[in-house]
Structure 1
Amino acid sequence: MNPRPDDDNRIKIAPSILSADLARLAEQVAEVEAAGADRIHVDVMDGRFVPNITFGPVLVKWLRPATTLHLEAHLMIAAPDDFLEAFAEAGVDSLIVHVEGAPHLNRTVQRIKSLGLRAGVAINPATPAVMLEEILPDLDLVLAMTVNPGFGGQSFLPGTLKKIRTIRRMIDEIRPGCELEVDGGVDVETAPRLVEAGARVFVAGSSVYGAADGPTAGMRRLAQSLGL
């Protein structure tokens, strides 16, 4: 595992397996790894916090031997504290919980760190950036949602750009080593705007795995739009 925060400000791509062909998941993860992906994003949904059900620790345990890439689990679930140990044992490198879904956020973040993992906090589009202020000094990553969580393939919400700029300033002032990741509607049109706003890690599902000419071509186009 690689629980240490990155010591650079490089732009990174984190393909989301939410849009992958699950019947060929190992193959599809290997394809984006070969195409230059920096990490794999696992969207975990419980049908309560968001209106959809997706993956759990068993899938992560199966996926772990299939890739050497960093695995991050984005817990869009109502009771994240109940599953931290299970995901750690399954082999994730980072756990991301929602500021809206973890009532004792500091305790949750400290528990993630005690498991030897990188700790991230996600924030929904309508939640103000100020909600991150108290927890930011303890974070390795902030994930700004640029769609309302729950489903893949949604359209980017332009109003989130202002908040991303605000979070960028907060990170630079309070926690310079913290990564700023974005998730939702990331494609060749929105990616340059998100870079300008200050994002550095890009979760991409449909634009990579939904590409008509395949994930490698999708990765290539997205990388070019990000200036890579």
Structure 2
Amino acid sequence: MGEGAPSAAVAGSLWSVPPAQQLDVVAELRAVGLRRLHWDSTDGRFAAEGGFGAEEAGRISRATATSAEAHLMAEHPTRVVDAWAEVCDTVVVHAESEDWQGAVRRLERRGCRPGLAISPATSVDVVPDGLAVLVMSVVPGRAGSTFDHGALAKVEQLHARDPHRPVGLDGGVRREHAEAALAAGATWLVVGTDLFSAGGSARWGDLLADPT
């Protein structure tokens, strides 16, 4: 990154990392600046079953001294947000879910920052101003899918409409996408495979930062 270039926080997603390797790969990336983990959780209905439970996420976050955010791919997020608010400072629910507004209000009452995720087929028009938003560049629950460049236009639109809100990008994000994402207005990037695979610390070391 050149001097004066925009920067964004990087949150690491362990979805595709085998359990036996998770603590070791986080420790390696902590050494070069990783301070935040992104925990995906699905209910098996909204998206294919997978991801992590709140108890497991909390255990790994504490063991690695990392801050945490959650991305809940659930049809009824109000039923599960309480457990995640115990271990994460930010919890993102989906605009396509049932009663996401209720989940956001519940998180706010608990003092946890809420966010709203939008799937590739969802318009930015559904997102209210003032709310953090996570733009998905893959269909939820399909870890390892190819990055959809159309997501960058959504990031740009959301940033232009409300420049002060956090705007994240999630799904197939690779180091080669970072500059375009930052230029579009992304303030945080969720990165999985490209960060935790061989050479990830070298590729992403200049952008690793604590999002707070």
TM interval, short-chain normalised: 0.7 to 0.9
Of 37, 45, 50, which aligns to 2:47? Answer: 50
TM-score by length of 2: 0.87
2:78 is matched with which residue? 81
TM-score by length of 1: 0.82
Following superposition, the deviation at residue 218 of structure 1 comes to: 4.0
1:115 aligns with 2:110: yes
SS at match of 2:65: coil
Compare 159-168 and 24-33 and name the one that shifted more: 24-33
1:189 is matched with which residue? 176
Distance 2:125 2:161 in 1: 9
1:4 is matched with which residue? none
Choose between structure 1 and 2 for higher RCO, CA contacts under 8 A separated by at least 6 residues.
Answer: 2
Contact 2:134–2:169 (CA under 8 A) maintained in structure 1: yes
Contact 1:164–1:197 (CA under 8 A) maintained in structure 2: yes
Distance 2:11 2:154 in 1: 21
Contact 1:72–1:95 (CA under 8 A) maintained in structure 2: yes
1:223 is matched with which residue? 207
Cα deviations by residue, 1:159-211 (Å, 9 ceiling, x for unpaired): 22221111111222xxx1x211100121122111111111120111011112x
**Which has the larger helix fraction?**
1
Of 143, 147, 170, which aligns to 2:161? Answer: 170
TM alignment of 1:7-18, pairs within 5 A: 10-18=7-15
Following superposition, the deviation at residue 10 of structure 1 comes to: 4.5
2:95 is matched with which residue? 99
Distance 2:82 2:149 in 1: 36
1:204 aligns with 2:191: yes
Contact 1:187–1:204 (CA under 8 A) maintained in structure 2: yes
Identity among equivalent positions (%) equals 33
Cα deviations by residue, 1:79-135 (Å, 9 ceiling, x for unpaired): 21111111223x12211100111x3233211110111211111111110000003xx
**What root-mean-square deviation, in Å, do the aligned CA atoms of Structure 1 and Structure 2 show?**
1.9
Of 32, 35, 48, which aligns to 2:32? Answer: 35
Distance 1:164 1:54 in 2: 25
After superposition, the Cα gap between the structure-2 partners of 1:20 and 1:125, relative to the gap in structure 1 and judged at 3 Å, is same
Instruction: Count residues in correspondence.
Output: 203
